[in-house]
Amino acid sequence: MRVGIVLGDEYPPFVAQMAARGVVLDNGRSDVAYLRKLAAGRLDFALVMTDEMRSEEPIQAHASVKEIGFAFQGTPMGAYIGFSVLHADGDAQRRNFNAGFQAIHDNGTRKLVQAR
């Protein structure tokens, strides 16, 4: 069995377990690339990571594929952003990000973006 995943993305532990059982993980550059492979019959499945901000419909539309259906929901994963403790501006950038994120949360912009 061949399963499409995005090269460099992080996946839940069950993906490594599948590979240990002989499933071939086909690394693509993007969701679009491996959805096209799936539609062409070169993959059996594709793992598309989605969340409140990113659903599968726009990804499928961008890939220009149809007749691809949802199979299952995997283990939810958190998303994180990191800042280097070694880089001279790392701590300042972390503080800037946190201040900006707090500002868009407080003024309602975050809710508007998520609703869109």
Q: Express each pLDDT in 63-107 by its tens digit.
A: 777 777 777 777 777 778 899 999 999 999 999 999 999 999 999
pLDDT in tens, 6-42: 988 888 888 999 999 999 999 988 888 888 888 888 9
pTM score, two decimals? Answer: 0.63
pLDDT above 90 covers a percentage of the chain that reads: 42
Nearest to 1, CA basis, from 28, 38, 36, 30: 38
Give the whole-angstrom CA distance, residue 14 versus residue 76: 12
List all residues 6 or more positions away from 31 whose beta carbon is below 8 Å from its beta carbon: 6, 46, 48, 49, 59, 63
pLDDT above 70 covers what percent of the chain? 93
